[in-house]
Amino acid sequence: MYQYIIRRVLQFIPMLLALSIIVFGLAKAAPGDPFSGKILDPEVGMEIYEKQRAELGLDKPIPVQYLRWAEKIVQGSFGESITYKGRSVESLIKERFLNTVYLGLFALFITLLVAIPIGIYSARRPYSLLDYGSTTFGFFGLAVPNFFFGLVVIYLFSIKLGWFPAQGTLSSNKLTGFAEFKDRIHHMILPGLTLGLASTASYMRYMRSEVMDVLGSDYIRTAKAKGMSNNNVLYKHTLRNALIPVITLLGMELGPLLGGAIITEQVFNFPGIGTLFIGSVINRDYPVVMAITLLLGVAILVGNLLADILYSVVDPRIRYD
C-alpha cells in the first residue's frame, strides 16, 4: 500500500513538468502580454511599457522565459505578480486560498447533505412524489445558471428579508474567535447554497441509480433472505457498495473545488482562487497563471489518489501492492 502511494506520488513529477511546459507554452502562445491590456491612458505613453517588458524579460525567446521561471520554482518561489505590483504570487494565493477551501467544502457539505439522503430515498421509493420532486428540483438546479440563482437568493434573502449578508466573507476585522467564525459562516450560507445546489443533481442521480442497482443484486437478496432488517441491509451492505462511484466523483471534485467557482465568487464578491485565476488569464499575469495551474494539477492528482485509496477502504476486494 505505502509502496503504491510512493510510486504514484513519484509519477506526479513528470506529469507536473509536462503540465507546466504545456501551460506555459499555451499562455505565451495567446496573443497579448501583461501590458497590452492595460487601460489606455493618454497621460501614460506606450514606450514606458516597452521598458517594463524588457525589464521582465518578456522580449526573450519563450524557452528562455520558461527556464527563468522554472529556475525560480526550483528555488521554491513562484515569483512576483505582474498585475499586482509588489506582490509575491504566494501572498496572492494565500490571501484567497482559505476562502476557496471553506466555500468549496461548505458547498460540498450542502451537496452531500441534500444529495445522499434524497438519492437513497428516491432509490427505495422510485417514481414516488418525492422522487419526481427531487429529480425536478435537482435538474432545475443544474439548469439554472449559477449567477442567476445567486442573484435570486441575494434578492430574496439579503435585500428583501435581510437574513444574510449579500457580499463578502466577513463584516469586520474587529471580530475575533467564535464571533468571527459565526460571521464567516453567516457570509458563506448564500454562496455555499448557490454553489452546492448546482452540483446536487448529479450526485443525487448517481446515488439513486447505484442504490437501485445494488438493491437488485444477489447478495442483497441473500441478506434479506437471511432475515436481516431492511435498515441493516441498507446501511451495512447497500450504501458501502453504492458509494464507490460517488467517491470517484468526489476525487475528481477536489481540483475544481480548489480552482474556485468564478461565477459564484463574482456575484457574491467572495474573493477566491477562481476570480484570481480568470483575472490573471485575462491580464496575462503569467506567474500567477502558472502557479494556480500547478496547484490545481497537484490537487487533481492528489484527489484521484485519495479516491483510489478510499476504494480499498469501502471495497475490501480492491487491494494495491
Residues lying near another protein in the complex (CB under 8 A) are found at 30-34, 36-52, 55, 83-87, 95-96, 127, 129, 132-133, 136-137, 140, 147, 151-152, 154-156, 158-159, 162, 166-170, 172-173, 266-269, 271, 282-284
Q: CA 18 to CA 292: how far, in whole Å? A: 15
**Which is nearer to another protein, 18 or 185 (by Cβ)?**
185
Of residues 286, 247, 218, the one with CA closest to residue 33: 286
Q: Are 34 and 82 in contact (CB under 8 A)?
A: yes
**Which is nearer to another protein, 25 or 32 (by Cβ)?**
32
- The least distance separating another protein from the CB of residue 276, rounded to whole angstroms, comes to 9
Cα dihedral 137, 139, 144, 150 sign: positive
> Three cell numbers at 313?
477502504
> Three cell numbers at 208?
439513486
- The least distance separating another protein from the CB of residue 28, rounded to whole angstroms, comes to 13
Q: CA 136 to CA 99: how far, in whole Å? A: 31
- The least distance separating another protein from the CB of residue 37, rounded to whole angstroms, comes to 3
- The least distance separating another protein from the CB of residue 72, rounded to whole angstroms, comes to 16
Q: CA 187 to CA 171: how far, in whole Å? A: 8
Q: CA 288 to CA 279: how far, in whole Å? A: 10
**Which is nearer to another protein, 4 or 137 (by Cβ)?**
137
Q: Which residue is associated with the grid cell 443525487?
A: 204
**Which is nearer to another protein, 260 or 303 (by Cβ)?**
260
- The least distance separating another protein from the CB of residue 266, rounded to whole angstroms, comes to 6
Of residues 298, 102, 280, 132, the one with CA closest to residue 195: 102
**Which is nearer to another protein, 37 or 61 (by Cβ)?**
37
**Which is nearer to another protein, 187 or 237 (by Cβ)?**
187
**Which is nearer to another protein, 104 or 165 (by Cβ)?**
165
Q: How many CB atoms lie within 10 A of CB 218?
A: 7
- The least distance separating another protein from the CB of residue 107, rounded to whole angstroms, comes to 18
Burial class from Cβ neighbours inside 10 Å (0-12, 13-18, 19+) for residue 51 reads exposed
- The least distance separating another protein from the CB of residue 248, rounded to whole angstroms, comes to 31
Q: Are 210 and 242 in contact (CB under 8 A)?
A: yes
